[in-house]
Amino acid sequence: MEKDKLKTGILKKEIINIFKKFGLSNNHALISANALINAELVGAYGHGLSRLKMYCDRIKKKVINPKPKIKIKKISQSISHIDADNSIGFVAADIAIKEAIQNAQKTGIGMVAVKNSGHYGLSGYYAEQAVRKNLITMIYTNAPPAVAPHGALKSLFGTNPICFGTPTGSKIPFILDTSISMINRGKIRFAAKNNQKIPEGVALDKFGKPTTDAKKALQGVQLPIAGFRGSGLAWMVDILSGVLTGGNHAGRVKDPFEDFSGPQNIGHLFITFKTNLFVKNYNTRIKDNIRKIKRLPKVRGIKEIMYPGQNKYIRLKMNSKKDIKILKSTKNDLEILKN
Ligand SMILES: NC(=O)c1ccc[n+]([C@@H]2O[C@H](COP(=O)([O-])OP(=O)(O)OC[C@H]3O[C@@H](n4cnc5c(N)ncnc54)[C@H](O)[C@@H]3O)[C@@H](O)[C@H]2O)c1
């Protein structure tokens, strides 16, 4: 596959300029560009630049509001409710995690619900901000229909990621950030766009037959992790991020690439809390916990038992030293959007 290399700083400036051209403020363009660059650097290509054109198309078709009047309603010192006014999801999530951090720093726990938002990319990106402030965090968002509820013939749940982050007493945070589908939809879209196959056992075509064809998978259904257990987790995320927040739920979140008939009205929930709520020596205890697990005898071929987030941290460190490689198709999108 043909790829171009671009310096991170130059690429970031280009993205900022594109978002500004589409009407975002300097600050909102910067927040959005940072999130997209981070996705590229951690290797989550399905949530990176391959989505830039989609965001711009949605702004152009007035289903993302480039100049949102975001309202933060303080329910208590710990709890806030944000109406994102159909902003680009990155901005809503950035404001929400900062609010959740502040609430937790004041009271021990912060809970922030967001409605009228859009796709915000990687939950772990926001989790890391809280963990860097020495807070534990749990983050949920719903997404457009991709996964069939257990026993149903039709997709309804999104790939609804579940995210949990905690400080570890070392510089690498523990961040479990996983879709409830066998693979995330961004990876399937990326494969479809670049004529790649997807792994076996992750999707069915529209006739219910297993497929490795990414385009057929997009028309069919994705399979949840662990059968009915994954379906239950997806449902939980839809309740926490959709039903509870005032966001869309029960399959009403619009597909950002295909449905321009209105805003997505995605909901998110951010929960953050201090590590010393119940014990004074959390750092010592978490270090002991990780050390015990890492010292277990290993399966052949495994050098290290890694905790969630370690792989992405290592990738980010490695990739930050290099130019960003982007696909020709993404480069073409950039050129079109710039001019
Ligand atoms: N905004 C949305 O609508 C949306 C929807 C779905 C997914 N996403 C995002 O997509 C991203 C990717 O999701 P995914 O399910 O493909 O993630 P993934 O499968 O790459 O990783 C899932 C988790 O497993 C951990 N992990 C991976 N390899 C490991 C190993 N060898 N040992 C221990 N832990 C390991 C990772 O650190 C991560 O926490 C996430 O950041 C998620 O938030 C966003």
* pLDDT for res 187: 87
- 184, 189, 223, best to mutate for ligand 1 pocket (most atoms within 8 Å of CB): 184
Helix, strand and coil content of the chain, in percent to the nearest 5, comes to: 40, 20, 40
Structural domains counted in the chain: 1
Strand partners, 111: 79, 271
**Domain that residue 103 falls in:** 3-181+224-279+314-338
CATH number of the domain encompassing residue 110: 3.30.1370.60
Which ligand 1 atom sits nearest the alpha carbon of residue 179? Answer: 15
Which residues line the pocket of ligand 1, CB cutoff 6 A? 44, 47, 119-124, 141, 143, 158-159, 161, 163, 175-179, 183-184, 306, 308-309, 311-312
Cα separation, 136 vs 273, whole angstroms = 5
pLDDT value of position 2:
66
User: Residue 9: what are its φ and ψ, rounded to 5°?
Assistant: -60, -45
H or E element that contains 74:
strand 71-74
**Cα 195 to averaged position of ligand 1 atoms, centre (Å):** 23
Ligand 1 centroid to residue 35 C-alpha, Å: 16
Q: Which residues pair with 114 in a beta bridge?
A: 82, 268
Q: Is residue 203 part of a domain?
A: no
Determine, yes or no, domain membership for 212: no
Cα distance between residue 333 and residue 330, in whole Å: 5
Spatial separation of the C-alpha atoms in residues 109 and 91, rounded to whole Å = 22
Kindly state whether residue 151 falls inside one of the protein's structural domains: yes
Residue 265, phi-psi category: left (phi > 0), alpha (psi -120 to 50), beta (remainder): left
Q: Please give the model's pTM, rounded to 2 decimal places.
A: 0.95
Find, among 24, 53, 61, 119, the residue nearest to 327 by Cα: 53
Please give the average pLDDT of every successive group of 10 residues along the chain, which has 339 residues: 80 97 98 97 92 97 98 98 98 98 98 98 98 98 94 90 97 97 89 93 90 94 93 98 98 96 98 98 98 97 97 94 88 92
The CB-side HSE value for 51 (13 A sphere, CA atoms) comes to 29
Q: What is the pLDDT of residue 1?
A: 62
Q: Per the domain annotation, does 9 fall within a domain?
A: yes
- What's the gap in Å between 23 CA and the centre of ligand 1? 31
In a domain, 330, yes or no: yes
For the record, the structure tokens of 172 come out as 């690498």
